[in-house]
Chains A and B, each alone.
Chain A
């Protein structure tokens, strides 16, 4: 079966760095997405990785290792507004997104 695993909840301090991991097992692979979802709102796109390595976009970076079925989202210089759920999703062989349950990130001052 297809499976996406990520931690349920993480806590970090304002100004610090946090890494949210995602492991996956899917039928085929056409890229991995990270989305941010604030409570009560729709998810918004953060990043896309299809090749191994690190993609940097401002304070956010995303890493992919296809051989290990592993990705992480790295958030630097954490701000209170970064408190949200972070969803990992993999595009499978049919270009359908398989979604993880999301990681709730709590930022403390």
Chain B
């Protein structure tokens, strides 16, 4: 069965510090991978998605970047965090099925607080 791991679970960082969040998927190959951010009481905002190694699409301009060094590894980074980067960061994966459904499966999330 497929599993998705995210770490750390919680993180408190000062403004201006760097960030690295990691996500790995097991039990599937060539998944689509996604990074979302969710502000408190709000919906999901898609930050990045990737359809393959080294292929990253950015949905919103920001001081964040993403990389996919391996098929099942997706990394979210920042060189200098802003207060507005606080939120709940979710990694998700999907595989386009024969029905066309692109159901996404989420990792446990990382709660980031920037002070």
Footprint of B on A, CB under 8 Å? 30-31, 33, 40-45, 48, 50, 87, 89, 91, 95-97, 99-102, 104
B108 touches A99 (CB 8 A): no
A95 pairs with B102, CB closer than 8 A: yes
Give every chain A residue within 8 A of B109 (Cβ-Cβ): 41-42
State the CA gap A31–B99 with chains docked (Å): 10
**Given A42-B108, A42-B109, A101-B43, A95–B96 Cβ distance below 8 Å?**
yes
Query: Is there contact, CB below 8 Å, between A42 and B107?
Result: yes
CA distance A104 to B40 in the complex (A): 12
Interface of B is mostly: loop
> Residue on B with the closest CB to A4?
B43
Is the pair B101, A44 in contact by a Cβ cutoff of 8 Å? no
Q: Which residues of A contact B43 (CB under 8 A)?
A: 87, 99-102
- Which residues on the B side are within 8 Å of A33 (C-beta)? 103-104
Contact of A31 among B41, B101, B106, B111 (CB under 8 A): B101
- CB neighbours (8 Å) of A48 from chain B are 101, 103
The residue in chain A whose Cβ has the minimal distance to the Cβ of B108 is A42
Instruction: Write the residues of chain B forming the contact surface with A, with a CB cutoff of 8 angstroms.
Output: 41-46, 49, 90, 96, 99-109, 111
Tell me the complex Cα distance, A97–B45, Å.
10
Q: Please determine whether A95 and B104 come into contact, CB atoms closer than 8 angstroms.
A: no
Q: A30-B100, A42-B90, A50-B100 are in contact. Are A96 and B46 (CB under 8 A)?
A: yes
With A45-B103, A91-B102 given, name 11 new contacts (CB 8 A).
Answer: A33-B103, A43-B90, A50-B99, A87-B43, A87-B44, A97-B46, A97-B104, A99-B44, A101-B42, A102-B43, A104-B41
What are some 7 contacts across the A-B interface (CB < 8 A)?
Answer: A41-B109, A45-B105, A50-B100, A89-B44, A95-B96, A99-B44, A99-B45
- State in angstroms the CA–CA spacing of A101 and B105 once bound together: 18
Give, as a whole number of angstroms, the nearest-CB distance from B42 to chain A. 6
- Residues from chain A with Cβ under 8 Å of B111 in the complex: 40
4 closest pairs, A vs B, by CB? A101-B43, A42-B106, A99-B44, A95-B102
